[in-house]
């Protein structure tokens, strides 16, 4: 890359220059990070240990939780270290890696949520053929395709971004290397790059949105025909968490990357980045746990087994 000779490192501006503000930021982000790791790790553990949850729906949920852990781990630990040590430097290649990883896990999140909509469509609209259509080979191929497409998309986005020249300011007005902020400090005309990223993002987002919109159109049409109230409630209870998570992620991501320049300011940029890169990994496990009886029952079973184990262990001592 030709810009290596001009800019070899960047400065992450972060949230505050005040030591008290930095400690507050560190404390809040540490709490958020622990909650995100604990919630997503709990889902992965519960699904892995409970044979009844070894279904396509929870297979994709485990992939989503893994993506959430990686997604938040790409940005938040570096931001916490910046506040704790007051060292705002990130190397050029560190910034490249961060952009690539953010794009990879954000893309995986969107791809997995789209696949999960298809899974719910088959389960509700074609229940008798569900295990035939969503067999384990199909699930594995869909998950592999989502990760592969995410990596390819991340390579394209990262290559486009770092084909720009950085020869002036190296201060990034963000707590991580974010593409819109890198475009702002480039000394190259970024209009073509902005349009290219906007078009690429619009194509991907539009496809996923339309696919999910059509899937849920069929789902709601089928659910409303179910005669029993309990049957309708059970069908809706498996769809509402997914629809909530998808809406939260897409709305925050679209606002972060596709909002007009008139709506851009340092405060708005920081807030939108938190909503897009930090909030979904925290809320996803909470949303699925609160609305999902299978997850709650699995948690109760594991809790009872743990209590019994500790009780027996205590008696032996």
pLDDT > 60? residue 167: yes
pLDDT number for residue 249:
79
Q: What is the DSSP letter of 168?
A: S
Task: Please state the rounded mean pLDDT for residues 154-179.
Answer: 86
pLDDT tens for each residue of 221-278: 888 887 877 777 777 777 787 788 888 777 777 777 776 666 667 777 788 888 888 8
Q: Could you give all domains of the chain from N- to C-terminal order, each with its CATH number? A: 7-296 (1.20.1070.10)
Q: How far apart are CA 67 and CA 56, in angstroms?
A: 17
Confidence of residue 313 (pLDDT cuts 50, 70, 90): low
DSSP 210-275: HHHHHHHHHHHHHHTT-SSHHHHHHHHHHHHHHHHHHHHHHHHHHHHHHS-GGG--HHHHHHHHHH
Q: How far apart are CA 112 and CA 117, in angstroms?
A: 9
Closest CA to 184 of 5, 16, 13, 8: 13
pLDDT > 80? residue 174: yes
Q: What are phi and psi of 61, to 5 degrees?
A: -65, -40
Percent of the chain clearing pLDDT 90 (strictly above): 27
pLDDT number for residue 108:
93
pLDDT tens for each residue of 46-99: 888 888 888 898 999 999 999 999 999 999 999 898 888 878 888 889 999 999
Output the pTM of the full model.
0.86
């Amino acid at each position: 890359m030709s810009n290596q000779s001009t800019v070899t490192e960047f400065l992450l501006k972060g949230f505050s220059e005040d030591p008290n503000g930095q400690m507050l930021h560190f404390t809040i982000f540490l709490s958020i990070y622990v909650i995100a790791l604990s919630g997503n790790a709990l889902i992965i553990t519960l699904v892995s240990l409970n044979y009844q949850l070894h279904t396509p729906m929870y297979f994709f949920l485990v992939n989503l939780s893994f993506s959430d852990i990686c997604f938040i781990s790409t940005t938040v630990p570096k931001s916490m270290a910046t506040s704790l040590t007051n060292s705002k430097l990130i190397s050029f290649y560190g910034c490249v890696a961060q952009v690539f990883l953010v794009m990879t896990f954000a893309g995986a999140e969107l791809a997995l949520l789209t696949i999960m909509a298809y899974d719910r469509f088959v389960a509700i609209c074609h229940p008798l053929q569900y295990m035939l259509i969503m067999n384990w080979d199909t699930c594995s191929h869909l998950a592999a395709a989502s990760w592969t497409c995410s990596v390819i998309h991340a390579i394209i986005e990262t290559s486009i971004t770092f084909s720009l020249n950085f020869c002036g300011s190296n201060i990034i007005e963000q707590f991580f290397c974010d593409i819109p902020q890198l475009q702002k400090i480039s000394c190259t005309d970024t209009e073509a790059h902005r349009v290219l990223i906007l078009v690429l993002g619009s194509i991907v987002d539009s496809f996923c949105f339309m696919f999910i919109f059509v899937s849920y159109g069929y789902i709601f049409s089928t659910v409303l025909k179910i005669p029993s109230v309990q049957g309708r409630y059970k069908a809706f209870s498996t769809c509402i968490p997914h629809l909530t998570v998808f809406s939260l992620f897409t709305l925050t991501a679209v606002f972060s990357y596709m909002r007009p320049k008139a709506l851009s300011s340092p405060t708005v940029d920081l807030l939108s980045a938190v909503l897009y890169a930090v909030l979904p990994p925290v809320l996803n496990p909470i949303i699925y746990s609160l609305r999902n009886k299978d997850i709650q029952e699995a948690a109760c079973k594991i809790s009872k087994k743990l209590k019994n184990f500790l009780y027996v262990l205590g008696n032996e001592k």
